[in-house]
Amino acid sequence: MTSNKPRILLTLLVFAILAGSITLNFLLFNRAKKYYLELNLTRLDPLGWNQYFPDSNPPIKANSQVRLVFFGDSRAASWQSPELKNYEFINRGIGSQTSIQTVQRFEQHVTPLKPDIVLIQVGVNDLKTIPLFPMRKDLIIADCQANIQKIVEDSKDLGALVMITTIFPVGEIPLERQPFWSDEVSQAIEQVNVYINSLASEDVIVFDAFSVLADQQGTIERKYTKDELHLNQQGYEVLNQELVLLLNSLKLNTTEG
């Protein structure tokens, strides 16, 4: 009598391949749907102005309080501020935004707030497009650097102290995203971070968030990750520990009402 074991193993293998294919297609569909929604939302509101309605009557700053505005992409938007006496924190981050979008909405979302400090975290949404447009790699990096420089200068023009973070490292890339990813993204982050560090001056503080979050391989430590690009609560807690140390080292005060 012929054993049925090979046939059973073959059947199980076929089912495993089929299940894997269905799972991967489901993940890819959800990823495509997410980007499709983001694309159409961007077409309706390219700069995200409606995310924060125009501050015709921005909040009045209390005497002796230092106003810090978080500004940038989703990594800024998700940053829950620390509790710190004499500081007021306002968030003007918007998810999925590139550096050019943040540049173009600065006057709408930051200028009316009259910040004392602008904390900037932006750039990864530019650099993650490099695998899609490899021939434009150098231009993407150059534009990202120029836009970061513009946000820094616009902040300084307001009389604000600039606190710019290095771009956070990325985490483990999930299977459904790997066809649209490459090691060049991490290389570009490193290159732009070198540029960001070069901006340090008397009125520009570089907050090296990359070093705080990265493991020995230069990827984000797993205990800090929500997904491949975003931090969980523990990640922001460790950043806030460093942020509080930086802020406590400053001699800032404002009496403007």
Q: What pLDDT sits at residue 177?
A: 85
Helix intervals (H) in 87-217 = 99-109, 124-127, 137-157, 184-198, 209-213
Task: Quote the CA–CA distance of 257 and 248 in Å, as a whole number.
Answer: 22
Check residues 49 and 189 and name the one with the higher pLDDT: 189
Q: What pLDDT sits at residue 255?
A: 46
Q: What pLDDT sits at residue 42?
A: 59
Other Cβ atoms less than 10 A from the Cβ of 108: the count is 16
CA distances from 222 to 75, 101, 213, 234 (A): 16, 29, 9, 10
Contact 25, 176 (CB under 8 A): no
Mean pLDDT for the chain overall:
87
pTM higher than the cut 0.85 = no
- Arch. (CATH architecture) of 52-248: 3-Layer(aba) Sandwich (3.40)
Is the model's pLDDT at 239 over the cut of 80? yes
Question: Which structure tokens are listed for 154?
Answer: 């616009």
Q: Which residues are registered as beta bridge partners of 121?
A: 72
Q: What pLDDT sits at residue 209?
A: 98
Contacts of 11 (CB under 8 A, 6+ apart): none
Question: Which structure tokens are listed for 138?
Answer: 């150098």
Q: What percent of the chain has pLDDT over 70?
A: 79
Q: Which residue ranges make up each domain of the chain?
A: 7-44, 52-248
Is the model's pLDDT at 64 over the cut of 90? no
Rg (CA), the chain: 22
